[in-house]
Structure formats: structure tokens, C-alpha cells
Amino acid sequence: MRFAVLVFPGTWSDWDCVYALEDLGQTAERVWHRESSLDEYDGIILPGGFSYGDHLRCGAIARFSPVMSALERFAATGKPIFGSCNGFQILCEAGLLPGVLLRNASLQFRCQPQELSVERADTGFTSACEAGQIVQLPISHGEGQYFAPPTVLDELEDARRVLFRYSGANPNGSVRDIAGIVNPMGNVLGMMPHPERASDALLGGTDGNYIWRSMIERWG
């Protein structure tokens, strides 16, 4: 597959994502936020970081970048968009996913390995897993507390759009332990954890590859 890894000023997981995908034999190109077309790509990654220094709110300025209208068009085609960390925040700000990410309940930044339960395995992002499987992916954020009104949460649950929940101690106070959700079409995933940091055995884990492999299988 040919992936675009979007780069905003302040993005920092761009190279990490490029390397993780290249290590799996995929093509991944960093694409600057001023780009206006994404038509030539098969999948889009919105990596972590502090786009625009998190000024105003995380992701609040990035959503006005030129590339965002291309991203919205891309989403409508059904091809995959994956946002992690700041990428998840941007997807929420842009309205491609519901809800918001608030400051961690601890009011402190948290960087640590984190266990997640895979809620379902019949999606384009999780088909390489088994339902109920526990995977370990690092988290690294100060504003990762997922929040949405109860009606929205019930909608998400009813449509089984929660793909990942924090397992064990909830690291940021996210409502209903939500760590990652998809859009109704199932082609836009946002999650706080970083699969690109668990894609190399040398760094102590490869569970992130479940997500990449699932995407490649479904959309490659």
C-alpha cells in the first residue's frame, strides 16, 4: 500500500510511522499539511505530536490546514484513515470522529506501556487480532481523556464502534475506558496509543503490527 503520513508544524511521530510501515514492506511518504490532494494514496496516517503547539486546543488549528478538506474527501471514499494521539485529537476536532480529548484526569503527562483490550476483530483495523485479546501499546499524552455525551457514547456502543478499551488501570480517565473508536463507515480509526512504537522487537514489542497488518489485509 501507499500511505501518506500527514505532517503539521509540531507533528513528531511522522518518521516513526513511516519506518513502521516501511519495515512491513509498505510505501509511506510524509506529506506536508499544505498539500491539497490525497487522491494518489491508499491510506492516510495522522501521527502524534503537538500540531501548532496544542495552542487553543489539541488539533484545533490543524483542522484548518489546507490538507483537511482533502482528508474529508478521502474519508468519504471508504479508504482508511488512521489517527493516533494528536492525530485522534485532530480527527475529533475535524468532526470525522465524535467526542473530544480532555486533559488527563491526573493533570499530568503519561508515557508508559499500556494494555488494551481489542473489542472486536471483525474490522479493517483489527482483523489480525482476536476479539477480547489484550495487546500492549505505549501511550504518551497529556490530553487523552476521551469524553462524549452519554447519547453519543450509547450510539458508539450500539454500533460497536469502540475498537479498543484500556485494560487494567485507566491511565487518563477516559469515559467507559475508551481508547480507540471508528466512524460509522469503519474506515476512520482514532486512538490515543501509539502502535508505531510497538512495531519493532528491539524496542520491546510488536503488537502495533496487528493494526498495520489488518489494514494491509483489508485495504491493500
Partner 1 sequence: MAQFPLPADAAPAEADDEVLAQIALSRREYELACQMLGRAPSDVELGMIGALWSEHCGYKHSRPLFHHFPTEDERILTNLGEENAGAIDIGGGWVAVMKIESHNHPSAIEPYEGAATGVGGIVRDIFAMGAQPIALLDSLRFGPLEDRRNRRLCVGVVAGIGGYGNCLGIPTVGGELVIGDSYSGNPLVNAMCLGIAPRGALISATAGPPGTQLMIVGADTGRDGLHGATFASVELDESSAERRPAVQVGNPFLEKSLMDACVGLVRDHRDWLEGLQDCGAAGITSSTVEMAERANAGIRIQTQHVPRRESGMTPYEVMLSESQERMIAAVKPDHVADVQAWFEHWDLHAEVIGEVTDDGIARVLDGDLEVAAAPVSVMTNPPAYEPYAERDADAASRSEWDPSSLPDLEPSAANDALLRLLASPNIASKRWVYRQYDHMVGTNTVVTPGSDAAVLRVRGLKQGLAVCTDGPGRAVELDPYAGAARAVAEAARNVACSGARPVAVTDCLNFANPERAPIYYQLSESIRGMSDACRAFHTPVVSGNASLYNESEDGPVTPTPVVGMLGVISDVRQAVRMAFRDEGDEIWLLGGELDQNASTLGGSEYLAVLHRKSAGPIDVDLEAEAALVETLVAGAEAGVLKSAHDCSDGGLAVALAESAMAGEVGVVVEIGEVERLDAALFGESGGRAVVSVDADQAQRLATIASRRGVVAARIGTVGGDRIEIGRIGLELATASDTWNSALPALLDG
Sheet architecture: strand order including 110-118: 27-32, 2-7, 43-46, 81-84, 188-191, 178-182, 162-166, 110-118, 134-141
Helix (H, G, I), strand (E, B) or coil at 67: helix
The reply to whether 111 belongs to the active site is no
H/E/C letters for each residue in 113-136? EEEEEECCCCCCCCCCCCCCCEEE
The reply to whether 33 belongs to the active site is no
In this complex, which beta carbon is closest to partner 1, that of residue 120 or of residue 194?
Answer: 194
Which three cell numbers mark 9?
508544524
Question: Minimal distance in Å, beta carbon 120 to partner 1?
Answer: 27
In the DSSP assignment, the letter for residue 63 is G
Question: Minimal distance in Å, beta carbon 11 to partner 1?
Answer: 8
CA gap 172, 206 in Å, rounded: 23
> How do beta strands 100-102 and 145-147 pair?
antiparallel
Question: Minimal distance in Å, beta carbon 176 to partner 1?
Answer: 23
The reply to whether 119 belongs to the active site is no
In this complex, which beta carbon is closest to partner 1, that of residue 21 or of residue 182?
Answer: 21
The active-site residue, picked from 58, 85, 92, 129, is 85
In this complex, which beta carbon is closest to partner 1, that of residue 117 or of residue 140?
Answer: 140
Which three cell numbers mark 153?
457514547
In this complex, which beta carbon is closest to partner 1, that of residue 87 or of residue 98?
Answer: 87
Site of interaction with partner 1 (CB under 8 A): 9-10, 12-13, 15-16, 19-20, 32, 48-50, 52-55, 108-112, 138, 140, 142, 194, 196-197, 199-200, 202-204
Question: Minimal distance in Å, beta carbon 214 to partner 1?
Answer: 20
Residues with catalytic function? 85, 194, 196
